[in-house]
Structure 1
Amino acid sequence: MLKMEEIASGLKFPEGPIAMEDGSVILVEIERGTLSRVTPDGKISVIAELGGGPNGAAIGPDGAVYVCNNGGFEWHHRDGLTIPGDIAPDYSGGRIERVDLETGKVDVLYTECNGQPLNGPNDIVFDKEGGFWFTDLGKSRGRIKDRGALYYAKPDGSMIREAMFPLESPNGVGLSPDEKKVYVADTVPGRLWGFEIEKPGHLKTGTAIPDTFVGAPQGLNFFDSLAVDAEGNVCVATIFNGGITSISPDGKKVEHFATGDYITTNICFGGKDLKTAYITLSSTGRLVKCEWPRAGLPLNFHNK
């Protein structure tokens, strides 16, 4: 198990961590419906009230935070743990939101693509051109479950396009260091896909699914969000087998780092040389940090 230091507890299903230069971590609290800030001494403050189900988050080229909002889950509480379920009774619709960190002002950028509503936007990553890839996991409604998709959009609200459909349950998304591949963590099958990029927002056509398969660990592993390290390894948060699973770009090396929370949802890198990993342990409502064996990959418009 990782040697972890707890930064904060009592968070309402944290996700989407962003390590800031001042040592604080910005994250979402999905159950609380907020974008929040956690200071190094563990104090929690609300930046913006978003409602619904704020999920993945990333700093954009203008310094604002862009949030994937899944519209809301129903919640279950048992044995001291928080567990998300199907679509919320008060589901408010999937959307991409922009949050001004200075004022807390929230703007909704996208709610649909070519007339198709966004069902459950989940994770987000910006490329060097200033656009962003994001996944839509979809929602579950009893016996019915949406199929997911991978999208690309511009942060000024001017363009959104569907890059890949259907995907079973696309969750985490990230870019290879050379930005020639976009990685997608598929939750239920526990598989990591690597799609080749032709140009911003466009995948190379004619690529067979077997050719995009990167790797999958043995055993029961639901995949959640991810981050890429400086060596190109994809670090995927895993559910049930709670922890972070590092998968090499060729899929040949798979390492699992246990966290002790069976709904470990995300990881980001910060601190000196980007060797501090910040991890959201969501079922127990904690943010922890630890020293990672490799430096994280610097993010566009952040970690610079």
Structure 2
Amino acid sequence: MIEQYDPLAKTLFIDGCQLEKISHGAVWNEGPVWLPESQTLLWSDIPNNRIVSWNQQTGSSVWRSPANFTNGHYLDLEGNLLHCCHGGRCILKTNLRTNQVTTLVSHYRGKPLNSPNDLVVKADGSIWFTDPPYGILSDYEGYKADVEQAGNFVYCYYPKTNRLTLVCDSMEGPNGLAFSVDESQLYISDTSITLPDQTIGHHHIMRYDVSSNTLGEYQLTNGEVFIEIHPGVADGFRLDRNGWIFSSSAEGIHVYHPDRRLLAKILVPEIVSNCTFGGMEGDTLFITASSSVYRIRLNTVGIQAYQCGSTVSK
């Protein structure tokens, strides 16, 4: 079911478009990523400790098991698959041609990371990721362990120099993140969920300006609350070429204009965790929702279709 709240929303939906379930049977799905070369969707079924794949010809199958409790995924500029790994408390890289797995970063200032949750790659190849403790608070989505960092931070990793810098230390539970179309701003959700009772604190997405310091390292400034998500939280989200934000919630996908207007809702019959754009034309929104995965074709293109080697032209 689609709900439209602004005249602009009419341009988003194709006549007759419908939400379609393409996979089911998971415990909790997260971290979808589209692989343009193989026309395949991958995502994490975290409690089952596996990565699942889907494509139009073969349907769903297990891609990797065990998967060391991976969560978020993204493609780097060379087409390698990056993983946020709860079990290893690190960022992993899989070469999709050789299947070789490499650990990129696992410590900050000599101490283990918490449990990297979600990540994005900037146009210059820098890798940005959130590091809440959700994967080490229990054995449900990782391995229970002590928190060794001073807080729940957002980091930027520079692969060319193997340097990791802290870019945000003011959030309680940094979770999903995505750049604006021109990469001048970064959106980050703050969920601050307390396990095991799942008490929710913050429900908002923050928006920051991206700049550089005198050392040429990135920093985030002018943080502001962009929007509050109700019901549920903004776990993960993506942007389209218009700069519109497609955010998860407890009732489906909420679509926001950068000026904070709620444009539309795509209602989903399960709690939504994440979403990503993919498909042959980059115009299909794939939605991970509790035990199932859904898709809906839209009259737009996700900006990561440009970043991840899609054939879609900008």
Q: Structure 1 residues 97-106 or 174-183, which shifts more?
A: 97-106
| Cα contact 1:163–1:201 (8 A) shared by 2 | no
Shift of 1:29: 2.3
Could you tell me which of 255, 262, 265 is aligned with 1:256? 265
Provide, for residues 47-70 of structure 1, a one-character-per-residue CA deviation record: whole Å limited to 9, x for no partner. 444543201101112211000112
Q: Find the aligned partners of 1:186 and 1:27 in 2 and give their Cα distance.
A: 22
Could you tell me which of 163, 181, 184 is aligned with 1:159? 163
Q: Does 1:232 align with 2:227?
A: no
Aligned partner of residue 133 in structure 1, secondary structure = strand
Q: Find the aligned partners of 2:91 and 2:124 in 1 and give their Cα distance.
A: 19
Give 1:192-231 correspondences, 5 Å limit: 192-199=205-212, 202-205=218-221, 207=222, 209=223, 212-217=224-229, 219-231=230-242
Provide, for residues 214-250 of structure 1, a one-character-per-residue CA deviation record: whole Å limited to 9, x for no partner. 1114x43212111111111111111xx2311122212
Aligned partner of residue 167 in structure 1, secondary structure = coil
Unaligned runs of 5+ in 1: 72-92
Shift of 1:40: 1.4
Unaligned runs of 5+ in 2: 3-17, 139-145, 192-200
Shift of 1:42: 5.2
Give 1:11-160 correspondences, 5 Å limit: 11-21=26-36, 22-41=38-57, 43-49=59-65, 51-71=67-87, 93-139=88-134, 141=137, 147-155=151-159, 158-160=162-164
Shift of 1:294: 3.2
Q: Find the aligned partners of 2:34 and 2:297 in 1 and give their Cα distance.
A: 14
Shift of 1:19: 2.1
Q: Does 1:287 align with 2:272?
A: no
- When residues 161 and 100 of structure 1 are mapped into structure 2, their CA distance, relative to the original with a 3 A threshold, is same
| Cα contact 1:150–1:170 (8 A) shared by 2 | yes
Q: Find the aligned partners of 1:272 and 1:48 in 2 and give their Cα distance.
A: 24
Percent sequence identity is: 23
Alignment RMSD = 2.5
Provide, for residues 23-82 of structure 1, a one-character-per-residue CA deviation record: whole Å limited to 9, x for no partner. 3212222123233321214533444445432011011122110001123xxxxxxxxxxx
Could you tell me which of 255, 265, 268 is aligned with 2:276? 268
Aligned partner of residue 44 in structure 1, secondary structure = strand
Provide, for residues 138-183 of structure 1, a one-character-per-residue CA deviation record: whole Å limited to 9, x for no partner. 23748x9884211111346712111111311111110000100111
Q: Find the aligned partners of 2:46 and 2:172 in 1 and give their Cα distance.
A: 22
Q: Find the aligned partners of 1:59 and 1:184 in 2 and give their Cα distance.
A: 19
- When residues 190 and 255 of structure 1 are mapped into structure 2, their CA distance, relative to the original with a 3 A threshold, is farther
Q: Find the aligned partners of 1:103 and 1:33 in 2 and give their Cα distance.
A: 22
Q: Find the aligned partners of 2:75 and 2:19 in 1 and give their Cα distance.
A: 25
| Corresponding residue number in structure 1 for 2:180 | 176
Shift of 1:5: 1.3
Q: Find the aligned partners of 1:192 and 1:213 in 2 and give their Cα distance.
A: 6
AA of the residue aligned to 2:246 = C
| Corresponding residue number in structure 1 for 2:24 | 9
| Cα contact 1:26–1:36 (8 A) shared by 2 | yes
- When residues 243 and 157 of structure 1 are mapped into structure 2, their CA distance, relative to the original with a 3 A threshold, is farther
Q: Find the aligned partners of 1:288 and 1:181 in 2 and give their Cα distance.
A: 29
| Corresponding residue number in structure 2 for 1:190 | 203
AA of the residue aligned to 2:207 = G
Q: Does 1:245 align with 2:254?
A: yes
Q: Find the aligned partners of 2:47 and 2:73 in 1 and give their Cα distance.
A: 15
| Corresponding residue number in structure 1 for 2:308 | 301
TM-score, normalising length from structure 1? Answer: 0.80
